[in-house]
């Protein structure tokens, strides 16, 4: 089954053509990051206009790269939610038009589950093996931070999520505080490599709230806003809610602060993920979403997994940040399971994680 996938939930327009969930014929991304960088964050209406401009040429290019004609496409998969509403609507409208014109089925995809699927694209044998389950998946992106439990029959539940900022936001907002450009994650990752991660003991939001002991109900929840505030008061001590300038510091101290801040984010992500692994006796671990590109997270997660002999799947960076291969790949499984969306398919900015995922190996009949 050959599926054309469309992704337009945020600031990347992406189109991919994937066969049987794993053979990626083409995977194209047109990024708007530079346009939004001027404003220090994503502007939803600007994102929608850029998707509108990019989407049709990108579909044509994806077909050309795949050396396929539209008639070869068996179905269309499109990100339905979560995401920025105006941005999502562009992809969904285009997908509906394509589905109607071709007379081929349409399926709306949950972006979070697609991020998880992204880690399996190059590992079909792990995904298809019931012994890989239960899977713990840490989804860390610009908008979400979530721990999911996935069983071999596809049952899926949320074990924990962020109480305030997402991990990606923790990086992007830190960059803003440090007067670094948007998006902050990749740049902080790069700068942190030359700093000392132990130089500043930033608070770990583990999370009791305000430095109090961990509340049992928050064992697998995250909180990054206290950390962000600690950074703000460290580098801009004059801050009183309004604008302030950075205190004087040398390059070495600046880089040490960045490395220590990144360490605090990554430390909490790794620790809580391992708690979830132990609580649920997971037999493999997926780490996905844009923040999964972070080099320190990749190293520390690999060490923690290796010490527990736990198979770890972190997608290559191209399948971590927003892409359509993960949408088309998951779409193959959903369509093969007989799932279809009708023309009522609507975008929703927030969307519950589904109770079942359709890429699991032992789906009920
Ligand atoms: O998954 P994604 O592309 O889009 C969303 O669904 O949100 O994630 C984007 C987020 C941004 O916050 C960006 O700063 C972060 O991922 N990110 C990183 C790195 N690369 C991207 N964060 C830390 N280190 C990186 N190398
Ligand atoms: Zn995403």
pLDDT of residue 202: 96
pLDDT at 61 over 80: yes
Dihedral sign of CA atoms 312, 138, 168, 170 in order: negative
The DSSP bridge pattern shows strands 75-81 and 2-7 to be: parallel
The residue assigned the tokens 């070869």 is 72
Can you read off the two tokens belonging to residue 67?
């050396």
pLDDT at 241 over 70: no
pLDDT of residue 34: 85
H-helix or E-strand spanning residue 299: helix 295-307
Distance CA 223, CA 292 (A): 18
Distance CA 168, CA 172 (A): 6
Residues 120-148 have a mean pLDDT of: 97
DSSP state of 162: B
Average pLDDT, the chain: 95
- CB 154 less than 6 A from any atom of ligand 1: no
pLDDT of residue 211: 64
Q: Report which bound ligand comes closest to the CA of 292.
A: 1
**By alpha-carbon position, which residue is closest to atom 13 of ligand 1?**
185
How much distance in Å is there from the Cα of 166 to the middle of ligand 1? 10
Partners of 203 in the β-ladder: none
C-alpha separations of 262 from 10, 76, 96, 106, 258 in Å = 24, 39, 41, 40, 6
How much distance in Å is there from the Cα of 12 to the middle of ligand 2? 9
pLDDT digits (tens, 9 = 90+) for 288-323: 999 999 999 999 999 999 999 999 999 999 999 999
Cβ atoms of residues 15 and 326 within 8 Å = no
Alpha carbon 116 to chain centroid distance? 8
- CB 184 less than 6 A from any atom of ligand 1: yes
DSSP H helical segments within 67-218, as ranges? 85-102, 111-118, 124-127, 167-177, 184-192
């Amino acid at each position: 089954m050959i599926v054309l996938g469309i992704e337009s939930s945020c600031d990347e327009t992406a189109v991919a053509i994937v066969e049987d969930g794993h053979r990626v014929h083409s995977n194209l991304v047109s990024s708007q990051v530079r346009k939004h960088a001027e404003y220090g964050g994503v502007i939803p209406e600007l994102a929608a206009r850029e998707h509108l401009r990019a989407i049709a040429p990108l579909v044509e290019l994806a077909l050309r790269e795949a050396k396929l004609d539209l008639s070869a496409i068996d179905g269309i998969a499109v990100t339905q939610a979560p995401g920025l509403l105006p941005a999502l609507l562009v992809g969904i409208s285009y997908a509906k038009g394509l589905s109607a014109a071709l007379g081929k089925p349409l399926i709306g995809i949950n972006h979070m589950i697609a991020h998880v699927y992204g880690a399996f694209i190059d590992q079909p044998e792990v995904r298809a093996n019931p012994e890989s389950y239960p899977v713990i998946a840490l989804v860390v992106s610009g908008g979400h931070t979530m721990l999911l439990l996935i069983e071999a029959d596809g049952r899926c539940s949320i074990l924990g999520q962020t109480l305030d900022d997402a991990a990606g936001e923790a990086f992007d907002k830190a960059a803003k505080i440090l007067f670094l450009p948007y998006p902050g994650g990749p740049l902080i990752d790069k700068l942190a490599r030359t700093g000392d991660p132990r130089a500043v003991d930033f608070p770990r939001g583990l999370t009791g709230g305000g430095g109090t002991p961990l509340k049992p109900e928050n064992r697998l929840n995250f909180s990054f806003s206290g950390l962000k505030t600690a950074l703000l008061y460290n580098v801009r001590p004059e801050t009183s809610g309004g604008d302030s300038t950075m205190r004087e510091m040398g390059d070495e101290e600046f880089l040490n602060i960045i490395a220590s801040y990144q360490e605090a984010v990554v430390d909490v992500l790794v620790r809580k993920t391992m708690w979830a692994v132990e609580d649920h006796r997971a037999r493999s671990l997926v780490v996905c979403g844009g923040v999964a590109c972070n080099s320190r997270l990749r190293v520390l997660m690999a060490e923690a997994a290796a010490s527990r002999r736990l198979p770890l799947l972190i997608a290559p960076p191209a399948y971590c940040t927003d892409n359509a291969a993960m949408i088309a790949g998951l779409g193959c499984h959903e369509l093969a399971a007989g799932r279809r969306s009708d023309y009522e398919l609507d975008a929703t900015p927030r969307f519950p994680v589904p109770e079942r995922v359709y890429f699991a190996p032992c789906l009920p009949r």
